[in-house]
Amino acid sequence: MSAADSKPPALSPRDAALKIVQQLRKAGHEALFAGGCVRDMLMDHEPSDFDVATSARPEQVSSLFKRTQKVGAKFGVVLVRMGKQTVEVATFRRDLAYSDGRHPSGVEFTDAREDAKRRDFTINGMFFDPVQNEVVDYVGGRDDIARRVIRAIGEPTKRFAEDHLRLLRAVRFAARFEFEIDPATWTAMREHAPEIARISPERIREELEIVLTHPRRAAAVQLLHECGVLAKCWAHAAKVSMDFGRTSDELSHLPTDASFETALAVMLASLDETAIDESCDALRCSNYTKKTVQWLHAHRDSLDDPARLTLADLKLLMANPAFSELLTICAARVASNQISGDGLSEIKRRIAEIRPEDIAPPPLLTGHDLESMGFQPGPAFKKVLERAYYDQLNGTLHSIDEARAMARSMMP
């Protein structure tokens, strides 16, 4: 037998979690799969990760397994490494009073039934016994999956008052699974919508990123708008919410795999440049996101009238890394009947005629050339270089000699 054959097969996330459950049980503790993975299994989706909930205390979990890391010991959460997998193992708990609109002030360790009650929505509140192959459902999650409903566990008003992030989570799950939000849960969401402003901007951005990169982004934004959460997400969001008809239509015509930046640029399109900058800052977007959204916004209409676009203008746009996203937005505007498709067809025809190496060729004329001609760097210098490059892209400047002649005629 070769060395490769003797290696144990890599554990799947499910097998790793199963091994942990078995070991916890062998030591006399209760242990179950919990939360999202149970929901996903019941819906025939492949779970992204398998979380384990147990009656064992964090110290007991740590002492039972070789490779562990306490991440939220205060909340009873221990990460257990099993093979190449990392499994979150959380002690059954009840949350104590919430003070900051997001986190409980502490937790008390309890049993599975109580642990189910502190979870957000019924579809997320179930357990699964992988040894008996049995769903353990204390909150009616199975029925709600069958009815395709997102329902808060317990008293909805109280649940959204405790943790305002649940407002965004409700929308995320409703849009992802195309479920309805239960009327009482919806009423509570509308009532608590303004409290979203108390959630940290990073966390709001993270949730927006999740829903805006999902194929059902338009449905998610529609729900955010209708429950009043969108308008309160950051300072300029009220205007975004007002312009919502166009936004939603345009979002619904983006390709399923559109980037966060593309979708965000669509969402922010009715804002001016300053408000775009401030929105990206408010949401703590990365520099990359901010730069891309700014560029997409500044050039939103650039492709609408091909007659106004010289060959050089088009090449300069094409040279930007976000150009394909600009085309995507343009196509969504055509599909949502904001502009005619003739312009875009003409642009595509022209793009097809441009050889890749001609999009951003090295400049014929450089600063070095100008200096060797005896010119001093300065504003005129820069203007000459820009002009020479523009003419080069337009195909009207063909050689360094022509470029030098142009420089001599332009330099003071």
Using CB under 6 A as the criterion, which residues of the chain lie in contact with ligand ATP when the complex forms? 35-36, 48, 51, 119-120, 124-125, 163, 165-166, 169
Instruction: Choose from Mg ion, ligand ATP, none: what does 343 bind? Cβ within 5-8 Å by kind.
Output: none
- Shortest Å distance, C-beta 36 to Mg ion: 4
Q: Candidates 9-17, 32-40, 126-134, 398-406: pick the segment binding Mg ion (CB under 5 A).
A: 32-40
- Smallest distance, ligand ATP to C-beta of residue 51, A: 6
* Nearest residue to Mg ion, by Cβ distance, number only: 36
Binding-residue total with Mg ion (CB under 5 A): 1
Cβ nearer to ligand ATP, comparing 163 with 391 = 163
Judge whether 181 and 116 are in contact, CB under 8 Å.
no
Task: Indicate which of ligand ATP, Mg ion, none lies near residue 325 (CB less than 5 to 8 Å, by partner kind).
Answer: none
Cβ-based nearer residue to ligand ATP, 214 or 246: 214
Q: Do residues 375 and 339 touch, judged by C-beta distance below 8 A?
A: no
The smaller minimum CB distance to Mg ion, of residues 90 and 407, is found at 90
Cβ partners under 8 Å of residue 31, min gap 6: 20, 21, 24, 25, 52, 53, 54, 55, 56
What spatial distance separates the first Cα and last Cα of the chain, rounded to whole Å?
82
Binding to Mg ion by residue 36, rule CB under 5 A?
Answer: yes
Gap between the Cα atoms of 213 and 329, Å rounded = 14
Identity of the residue, 13 or 36, whose beta carbon is nearer to Mg ion in the bound complex: 36
* Residue 120 touches which of ligand ATP, Mg ion, none (Cβ within 5-8 Å per kind): ligand ATP
Q: Is 47 in the site for Mg ion (CB under 5 A)?
A: no
Looking at the Cβ atoms of 149 and 165, the one nearer to ligand ATP is 165
Contacts with Mg ion, residue ranges (CB under 5 A): 36
